[in-house]
Amino acid sequence: MITMTGKLMSRGQRLGCVLALSVLALFLRGVPWARALDNGLAMTPTMGWLHWERFMCNIDCKEEPDSCVSEQLFMQMADLMVSDGWKDAGYQYICIDDCWMASTRDSNGNLQADPMRFPGGIRRLANYVHSKGLKLGIYADVGNKTCAGYPGSFGYYDIDAKTFADWGVDLLKFDGCYCDSLEHLADGYKQMSLALNRTSRSIVYSCEWPLYMWPFRKPNYTEIRQYCNHWRNFGDIFDSWQSVKSILDWSSSNQDTIVDVAGPGGWNDPDMLVIGNYGLSWDQQVTQMALWAIMAAPLLMSNDLRHISPQAKVLLQNKYVIAINQDPLGKQGYRLRKEDNFEVWERPLSSLAWAVAIRNLLEIGGPRSHTISVVFLGRSVACNPACLITQLLPVKKELGLFEWTSTLKTRINPTGTVLLQIKKPS
Ligand code: GAL
């Protein structure tokens, strides 16, 4: 390498220079340029349970009393959150999605829960959830109707925010269906954010603002972050590998736009965890858990906690993976490289540690080996001069000490992921 003054650098000087530039690059990436919604909430990604993907708009409590959207469903989930270790693992919010409402507002213009399915109303449900040490989430829509056709909040932002606060709600998922213009969409999302703040109750604000903007124009994420605690960018998750894959593809293709804006108080939301349902193989469930940790995604499970396999439960409650998701530095990870049907993703963590996920994209054949020089990981600083690597998924394994000149070899199942944690030796 030739310096500005034309002198050749020694190997040591070169390394020093590379290191200094890497540290500078890391620092510059870490500059918090986008102010977060100032409500003190979601300093780490929200963790909880949300009914939509698994239970959808099932309102037939006569035929299907155990899987209809009713207070009983949420009370049972709250009980299990506590008794089955979910709360201890960090899952805190029990969230109601669409289809909780009666088909009209009451005579005073207030939203009301369906009286048959929620005989005690939302306030009693909130009290119940709070008595378990958990928090309650609810759903509404910025437009004239919710996506399933229930009353929308357009023109009622202050009234509805006050209703939710009076009931003791702790999170609002605010959808974007039936909104007639981009102006109303942006204005509505902002107005509801301000209305929630005015109630002076702490209510996490979960938006779908960018998802509804993308078809028309590129969202202004700096602005969205000032109003929302998390925001959906992409279409609804389904219980299928195709769906999980498409979310990962979208997230990596758009990482230059979405990664840097995420941080304490405001997160990209790639939608619910569908682990423990019907559609994903074991390796695909591992991939979802690992990548949602790398992406600093809200961990909102949509499954049936009454019927979940021990294996899915262990994965969802994995404390090491959850610790990566909840890392206090709050920096979202990104795809580092894609080649030979492998993807390498990485995420900077606190204490100069890194998380690395290596995916085998092939959907044919058996496990494949992947080899990488550790010097390429963690912006060339993670393993310089050496690092300790622990494999966290699919099973926990200490891989030992790696010098910066060494290579790391992993074997990964088709559609699966190996999740690693890289630390500085103490
Ligand atoms: C969709 C939203 C889903 C779910 C559904 C309810 O637009 O993205 O997550 O909330 O509406 O109708």
Tell me whether strands 354-360 and 417-423 are parallel, antiparallel or unpaired.
Answer: antiparallel
The residue to mutate among 147, 211, 239, 247, having the most atoms of ligand 1 within 8 angstroms of its beta carbon, is 147
The residue to mutate among 206, 233, 236, having the most atoms of ligand 1 within 8 angstroms of its beta carbon, is 236
**Which regions of the chain carry the CATH code 3.20.20.70?**
34-325
Separation of alpha carbons 222 and 240, rounded Å: 32
- The model carries a pTM of 0.92
* DSSP secondary structure, 93-138, as one string: EEE--SS-B-SS--TTS---B-TTT-TTHHHHHHHHHHHTT-EEEE
| DSSP 8-state secondary structure symbol assigned to residue 241 | H
Say if ligand 1 is within 6 A of residue 66 CB.
no
Say if ligand 1 is within 6 A of residue 147 CB.
yes
Say if ligand 1 is within 6 A of residue 375 CB.
no
Residue identifier of the C-alpha nearest atom 1 of ligand 1: 147
| Chain mean position to CA 3 | 44
Query: Which backbone phi and psi does 180 adopt, to 5 degrees?
Result: -85, -10
CB 354 within 8 A of CB 377: yes
Residue identifier of the C-alpha nearest atom 3 of ligand 1: 236
For domain 34-325, give the fold: TIM Barrel (3.20.20)
CB 54 within 8 A of CB 277: yes
pLDDT of residue 34: 66
- What are the tens digits of pLDDT across the range 217-235? 999 999 999 999 999 999 9
Largest interatomic CA distance in the chain? 83
**Which regions of the chain carry the CATH code 2.60.40.1180?**
334-423
Say if ligand 1 is within 6 A of residue 274 CB.
no
Say if ligand 1 is within 6 A of residue 96 CB.
no
* DSSP secondary structure, 164-218, as one string: HHHHT--EEEEE-TT---HHHHHHHHHHHHHHHHHHTS--EEEE-HHHHHTTTS-
pLDDT of residue 1: 30
C-alpha distances in Å from residue 323, one per residue of 317, 318, 369: 10, 9, 27
Say if ligand 1 is within 6 A of residue 52 CB.
yes
What is the atom index within ligand 1 of the atom nearest the CA of 235?
A: 8
Token readout for 71 is 């207070």
- What are the tens digits of pLDDT across the range 77-123? 999 999 999 999 999 999 999 999 999 999 999 999 999 999 999 99
Q: What is the chain's pLDDT, residue by residue, as a tens digit (426 residues)?
A: 333 333 333 333 433 333 444 444 444 444 445 678 889 999 999 999 999 999 999 999 999 999 999 999 999 999 999 999 999 999 999 999 999 999 999 999 999 999 999 999 999 999 999 999 999 999 999 999 999 999 999 999 999 999 999 999 999 999 999 999 999 999 999 999 999 999 999 999 999 999 999 999 999 999 999 999 999 999 999 999 999 999 999 999 999 999 999 999 999 999 999 999 999 999 999 999 999 999 999 999 999 999 999 999 999 999 999 999 999 999 999 999 999 999 999 999 999 999 999 999 999 999 999 999 999 999 999 999 999 999 999 999 999 999 999 999 999 999 999 999 999 998
Task: Tell me which amino acid residue 360 is.
Answer: N
Point out the residues that are catalytic.
Answer: 175, 236
Q: Kindly report the CATH number that applies to the domain delimited by 334-423.
A: 2.60.40.1180
pLDDT of residue 99: 98
